[in-house]
Amino acid sequence: MSAYEMRANFGSSHILTGNQLRAALDDLLQKFTVVAPVMADNKLVYDEVKAVGDIVLDDGLPYKSPKEIVFPRVEAVMRFLENRVEEAQVIKPVLLVGAKPCDLAAMKVLDEVFTGEQGRYKDSFYSNRRDFLTIIGMNCREKKAGCFCEERGINPAFSLDCDGFLTLQDDGAVYEPLTEKGTDLFSGTDLFSGTDEASINSASHGDEPVQDGAKPDRHSVESEGPGMGPVPDGVKLEKMLVLEAIEGEVFNSMPWEKYAEGCIGCGTCTFICPTCHCFNLRDSEKNGIVTRTRVWDSCMYPKFTLHAGGHNPRTKKYERFRQRVLHKYLYIPENYGCTACTGCGRCIRSCPGGLNIRNTVADIRSQLETKREVHV
């Protein structure tokens, strides 16, 4: 049984036929602003849904991640008026449907960084949006080109990092509420009255099933890889792609120039990444009102680290590429206990220069192992 079939069964579940699933989604559309996979310009993307028929619940991984729901590309955060300052953020409750396990893992990384779970900094603009977000996750059935989520310790068939989980079947799906929010979504409806209690073919990953009435919350279940979902039995930790190194071992001794060959500094890899979260603040004035806006930024841009005094610590392309890789695989793990790469493969599929972060990290690991063996 592959990891794409292995999953855990937590608590009560409901089998929905295709028609029942569409009726359930239609019901949610009447109550919420729903974001789900839809087709736009011939690409599958997470976007706001207008009609239930637009939702594409199949095995495709949307081209872009859903991070824009909680961390918009451009967001007004403050307004400076003549006598006062006011917050400019506008938020509304959003229901995200069909988030894949890799994107749920990525949201958990963003949570670590932005919500101060580790007692660091709390970003109120992110946290406000996050508090108003309800998420229904969905399984992945087949590996796509460039994906390496299993090597990152993510179970593509299931995740607890959401409020309810849909497991797609040949016709319809199984819905499992995982939190109070996920249960409340359908309270007051009779959608499940004619449905069967599911008996899911599952291979447990070792966790005990949750007792009736005790729904695990987003952070209550230990995972093998911090910031990741439960690891299926078939994935051994020694095969996980992590960079167990200290900065001094890799900063100057790896062939970074070779790794970065072909990079044109377009920034696509960072904008498309579900865990990248760098931003800039810009002020603009109109009719005497100054608006402060937060916009995405990218460490792959030559002027990203340009200081006000004119010094730029990363003038070379390879230095910027090194920063991106080490930020994800060394600095975030050191600071937050989770790797900021889910193996979604988006940067690999979208890079015009053909760069591949998975292969870079695997090569560094292999070089480190060789070096360490030599020194034993």
Which residues lie near ligand SF4 (CB under 6 A)?
Answer: 263-269, 272-275, 300, 328, 341-347, 351-353, 355, 357
Element (H, E) at 75: strand 74-80
The residue among 164 and 274 lying less far from ligand SF4, judged by its C-beta, is: 274
- Residue 156: what residue type? P
Q: For residues 297 and 12, what is the distance between their CA atoms, to the nearest angstrom?
A: 43
In the block, which residue shows the tokens 């019901």? 27
N- to C-terminal Cα distance for the chain?
38
The residue among 104 and 344 lying less far from ligand SF4, judged by its C-beta, is: 344
Q: How far is the CB of 345 from ligand SF4 (least distance, A)?
A: 5
The residue among 227 and 343 lying less far from ligand SF4, judged by its C-beta, is: 343
The residue among 3 and 95 lying less far from ligand SF4, judged by its C-beta, is: 3
Element (H, E) at 196: strand 196-197
Q: How far is the CB of 299 from ligand SF4 (least distance, A)?
A: 9
Are 276 and 270 a contacting pair, CB within 8 Å? Answer: yes
Q: Give CA angle at 139 (135, 141), nearest 5°.
A: 160
The residue among 166 and 228 lying less far from ligand SF4, judged by its C-beta, is: 228
Q: How far is the CB of 267 from ligand SF4 (least distance, A)?
A: 5
Q: How far is the CB of 342 from ligand SF4 (least distance, A)?
A: 4
| 32: nearest Cα among 107, 97, 90 | 97
Other CB atoms within a 10 A radius of the CB of residue 208 amount to 8
The residue among 204 and 350 lying less far from ligand SF4, judged by its C-beta, is: 350
Other CB atoms within a 10 A radius of the CB of residue 75 amount to 20
The residue among 232 and 267 lying less far from ligand SF4, judged by its C-beta, is: 267
Q: How far is the CB of 112 from ligand SF4 (least distance, A)?
A: 14
**Quick one: tokens of 335?**
């600071």
Are 289 and 80 a contacting pair, CB within 8 Å? Answer: yes
Q: How far is the CB of 164 from ligand SF4 (least distance, A)?
A: 24
Other CB atoms within a 10 A radius of the CB of residue 34 amount to 23
Q: How far is the CB of 141 from ligand SF4 (least distance, A)?
A: 19
Are 78 and 69 a contacting pair, CB within 8 Å? Answer: no
Are 140 and 156 a contacting pair, CB within 8 Å? Answer: yes
Q: Quick check: helix, strand or coil at residue 282?
A: strand
| 230: nearest Cα among 163, 179, 156 | 156
Q: How far is the CB of 120 from ligand SF4 (least distance, A)?
A: 21
Supply the DSSP string of 15-40, one letter for each residue.
EE-HHHHHHHHHHHHHHSEEEEEEEE
Q: For residues 69 and 56, what is the distance between their CA atoms, to the nearest angstrom?
A: 18
The residue among 156 and 343 lying less far from ligand SF4, judged by its C-beta, is: 343
Q: How far is the CB of 117 from ligand SF4 (least distance, A)?
A: 19
The beta-strand segments (E) located in 119-160 are 133-138
The residue among 57 and 107 lying less far from ligand SF4, judged by its C-beta, is: 107
